[in-house]
Structures are given as structure tokens and as C-alpha cells.
Amino acid sequence: MRRLPAAAADQILVLVFVLCAIPEPARATQGVASYKHELKKIEDHLRAGEWQPAKDSSDRLLKDLIQEYSRGKGSRPLFGLTLAFRGIAESGLGDLVAATWDWTAAGLVSPESTQFDPSRFGAAGRALHDGAGWPVEAKHLSTYEGVQDGLVPPKKASGEHPVYSLTSREAGFEGTVSVQMVIDASGRPAAVIRLDAKALNEHTAVVVSTLETIRSWRFEPATFDGVPVNVYWDLTVSYRLERGPH
């Protein structure tokens, strides 16, 4: 992936946001300027190595963004950079699985948000840059029922179902969100490989909300000849106003 020049090291927010005009949120309890200010505070925490405050602030900001934005690809840099910053914070806290999930999600939600070199944030960023948390040798499943040549697919063990955000319900969103991910040998969602482009462009908040739910799921891991393995997994969540997500 193309990286932003080293001279831009102190201009992460500026470089990301000049690439796309950010619309005001549908529910104007906060404006774009306020969100940019929150991101700058998170960046300051990261530069100071204050990983937990950076993660906590990123969690809060993502929840706010999901509730405030209903649609429009113009909001994608806000979501993407928040995910990228949280990934660096999680790496600093030693959770490379969660960090890799967020970093890969950020790159798909908004490619601009991961075009900077995260190693400027020290060892936490270098681990992401070097792919230290990447689940290697993941196996592909062509079907999700039965055993295939010794490969037993994963099975969801716990986790809440996705829910509508208020703005998405008010906007009348109905449709599907498709995600390809890697579930690692411990049963954790470990990386986002592909996202539904149409849903991402039209209803970014729904896609990110879905990812936020999935990342907390735990699985009985896939096994190959009885040994737990990393595996690629495709999931589609359908959103219907009358029935809710399913």
C-alpha cells in the first residue's frame, strides 16, 4: 500500500481529511469540527504512549459516530481513522489480535486512514506495520456445513446480535452487510479481509456497527485433523426494519 511521505509525520489528521469533504452528521448533536478535535486528542494520547486513554476515547467516538451518521461515503475517513487509532492503542496494550482487526477494518472502510506509517507511534505502531498480529496460513472454506477433508468449520459460541443504530433505522436502511474475515485458532475474529462495497458507500455506519459487534464474538475454532487452525469465514447480516438484523 502507498505510504504518505515521512515529511507528513505530524500532519496525519490534515492529510486524511483533505482527501474527502466530511458531511455534517444526520443528528447534529456534534459537528465535524468536534469529531476532528476528539481525534486530535486521541492522536496526542498515542504520541504520549497513553494506550488505555486512547482506546477508551476511540471506543466512545466510534459509538458517537455510529449513532450520528446514517449514510454517505463522506463519513468514511472519520470512521477509518478512529479505527486505525484504536488499533494502535490496542497494539500498545498488547492485544495484537484486536489491533489487527481494527487496522484491517480501517483500511477497508477508508484506505486513506492507513496510508501513514504507524511506526511513528513507537513499538505499538511498528508491530502493526510489520504485521506481527496477522493470522498466517488461514484455510479457506467452500461451505459451512459438514467436514471437508478433515477441516471442521468454526461455530459461534458467544456474542450479541447486530442492532440498528438510531440514525440507520430513521433513514429506513434495509439490506445486507457482507464481511469476509479471518477467525484465528483461538476462536477470535482476527482480521477483516473484504467488506460489502455498496453498503459501505451508502450506509457506512451500519457496516462499522456490524464490525463492532462481530469483533466481540467468540467461536469454537475451526479444526484441521483435530488441530485448531485459522480460517477464512464469510458472514452476511440482513437488516430488515420489521424483523431487525438477522
**191-229 residue pLDDT tens:** 999 998 888 887 888 899 999 999 999 999 999 888 898
- Calculate mean pLDDT across residues 108-118: 89
- Evaluate whether 191 touches 205 at the Cβ level (below 8 Å): no
At residue 28 the predicted structure's pLDDT band, cuts being 50, 70 and 90, is very low
Do residues 129 and 186 touch, judged by C-beta distance below 8 A?
Answer: no
SS3 state at 152: strand
- What is residue 134's predicted lDDT score, i.e. its pLDDT? 78
The contacts of residue 158 (CB under 8 Å, 6+ apart) are: 217, 218
pTM: 0.85
Say if residues 237 and 165 touch (Cβ distance below 8 Å).
no
Domain 151-245, CATH class in plain words: alpha beta
Q: Give ranges for CATH 3.30.2420.10 in the chain.
A: 151-245
Strand partners, 176: 238
CB 188 within 8 A of CB 135: no
* pLDDT above 70 (res 136): no
Nearest to 88 by CA among 48, 30, 46: 46
At residue 194, the pLDDT reads: 93
